Amino acid sequence: MHRKSVAELSKALNKKDISSCELTSVYLDRIQAHSELNAFITVDRERALKQAQEADARLKAGTGTALTGIPIAQKDIFCTDGMLTTCASRMLANFVAPYDATVIRKFGEAGSVLLGKTNMDEFAMGSSNETSFFGPVRNPWDRRCVPGGSSGGSAAAVAARLAVAATGTDTGGSIRQPAALTGITGLKPSYGRVSRYGMIAFASSLDQAGPMTRSAEDAALLLNVMAGFDPLDSTSVDRPVPDYASTLDRPLTGLRIGLPQEYFGEGLGTGVAVAIESALEEFRKLGAKILEVSLPNSSLAIPCYYVLAPAEASSNLARYDGVRYGYRAPEYEDLWEMYAKSRAQGFGAEVKRRIMIGTYALSAGYYDAYYLKAQKLRRLISSDFDRAFEVCDVIMGPAAPSTAFELGSKTDDPVAMYLSDIYTISVNLAGLPGMSIPAGFDSNGRPIGLQIIGKYFDEARLLNVAHKFQQATDWHLRVPEGF
């Protein structure tokens, strides 16, 4: 039963072949049995089973939706009423949110079951899930390896079938890169597609929530629930939400796939390059045409992001002062010392590094040289995509330069870690939708992700392209041994 997709389980629940209580228990037991992965920070068994009971009543009454009774894991970045919401930081290790994030509310209204809150990099800063205050997550394909980050707990949970599906957030790659490293499907929607209300802010102009699932079909079912305008988030966009599940089967004949030459140069692992090439061959068979495009400013994406994201983070994280909520140092002499000690003790090393970089880049003497310059670069990077999309419908390439790496192998070298997002970050800077889907394995049996980038608000197209590929291949059905 735990191998089934959202779509299959939804049918079984509606036909009463299984109950949500049974299904939820299966997953709760699996989470417990595989606690060595450290994929979850909080699991509330009672609450989950109570929601499952309510879902069963709703299914019985015939008022269920496609997600009613489906157990879902939520990244621990979404505020959850009455439950711990830690963002994997000591700063929020005791924080119980007094309200639900819009994403949580919407899943609740759809009748899905909240299995628990997943582990992540502290405040979503990282590419390996090693900056978590609660310890690293292990990759179910190889426990010596990281699952990617920052949504590493959600990725590992879906890959190991500890949840039917999960949510993640992506500021520079945190849905797509861990999806690639764990062999699952991850979608970062266009900026503004999903409400950020109650989603703890890292870099507000880049953060976006999306589904992490076993298949594109499941991602469509989750996005149907997540997407839409929210008056509580002024950056959410008021435009109609299509039924993403209804256009999955459109044929790909004539689809124009753009390959950015910059994504296939130095730094790309050979195993990854070979897998991407054979995925493209599959798309040719499905009737797509492949052409070369250029994103000339790609190499500037990482430096641009590492000025803008820390700048926004330094401002967003100013609220953690030990006064209203969160961690407060036990001993201090005066107010200033309380601030200083609470922040020094409450934040981990990577978060402090970002706050320092951001504060520096925004300081009066350097604002023009760094922050303003980076904003200009952001515009150039975004225009590169506009030009590329004049001749193609989607852009494809690798989601990450390498497959899963060993725990500890990049922790001493922040720049090497930052390079994990070399193919994903420009998509956030431009605000475009991007996806990673399973496309093979390297010689060590570690998964490889194919990235598909779309035009603004063209999530339906991405899901359609991914779904057709998944109908023709079985990479997304592979499960790590023992799960």
Cβ(172)–Cβ(421) below 8 Å: yes
What DSSP element (H or E) covers 14?
helix 6-14
> Which value, in Å, is the radius of gyration of the alpha carbons in the chain?
21
What number of chain residues touch ligand GLN (CB under 6 A)? 13
Q: How far is the CB of 207 from ligand GLN (least distance, A)?
A: 7
Active site residue 150: yes
Query: Which residue bears the tokens 């063209």?
Result: 458
Sign of the torsion formed by the C-alpha atoms of 24, 25, 30 and 32 = positive
Q: Interface residues for ligand GLN in 161-190 (CB under 6 A)?
A: 170-174
Q: How far is the CB of 125 from ligand GLN (least distance, A)?
A: 5
Of 5, 19, 20, 75, which residue is the catalytic one?
75
Is 443 exposed, middle or buried, given 0-12, 13-18 or 19+ CB atoms closer than 10 A? exposed
Of 19, 89, 151, 174, which residue is the catalytic one?
174
Q: Is the peptide bond before 25 cis (omega within 30 degrees of 0)?
A: no
What whole-number distance in Å separates Cα of residue 197 and Cα of residue 209?
Answer: 10
Tell which one of 309, 404, 419, 432 touches ligand GLN (CB under 6 A).
309
Q: How far is the CB of 156 from ligand GLN (least distance, A)?
A: 16
Query: Which residue bears the tokens 């500021």?
Result: 171
Q: Interface residues for ligand GLN in 106-125 (CB under 6 A)?
A: 124-125
- CB nearer to ligand GLN: give 20 or 154: 154
Strands (E), 236-301: 256-260, 289-293
- CB nearer to ligand GLN: give 170 or 393: 170
Active site residue 132: no
- CB nearer to ligand GLN: give 34 or 75: 75
Counting contacts by CB under 6 A, is residue 20 touching ligand GLN? Answer: no
Q: How far is the CB of 377 from ligand GLN (least distance, A)?
A: 16
Q: Interface residues for ligand GLN in 232-271 (CB under 6 A)?
A: none
CB environment 155-189: b (16+ within 10 A), e (fewer):
bbbbbbbbbbbbbbbbbbbbbbbbbbbbbbbbbbb
Q: Interface residues for ligand GLN in 407-426 (CB under 6 A)?
A: 421
- CB nearer to ligand GLN: give 170 or 458: 170
- CB nearer to ligand GLN: give 302 or 479: 302
List all residues 6 or more positions away from 451 whose beta carbon is below 8 Å from its beta carbon: 176, 180, 396, 397, 398, 399, 423, 424, 434, 435, 436
What does the block give as tokens for 435? Answer: 């996806």
CB atoms within 10 A of CB 390: 9
Q: How far is the CB of 306 from ligand GLN (least distance, A)?
A: 8
Of 150, 151, 195, 314, which residue is the catalytic one?
150
Counting contacts by CB under 6 A, is residue 127 touching ligand GLN? Answer: yes
What does the block give as tokens for 397? Answer: 């390439």
Counting contacts by CB under 6 A, is residue 297 touching ligand GLN? Answer: no
- CB nearer to ligand GLN: give 174 or 185: 174
What are the beta bridge partners of residue 210?
A: 168
Which residues are catalytic, by number?
A: 75, 150, 174
Binding residues for ligand GLN, rule: CB under 6 A, are 124-127, 150, 170-174, 202, 309, 421
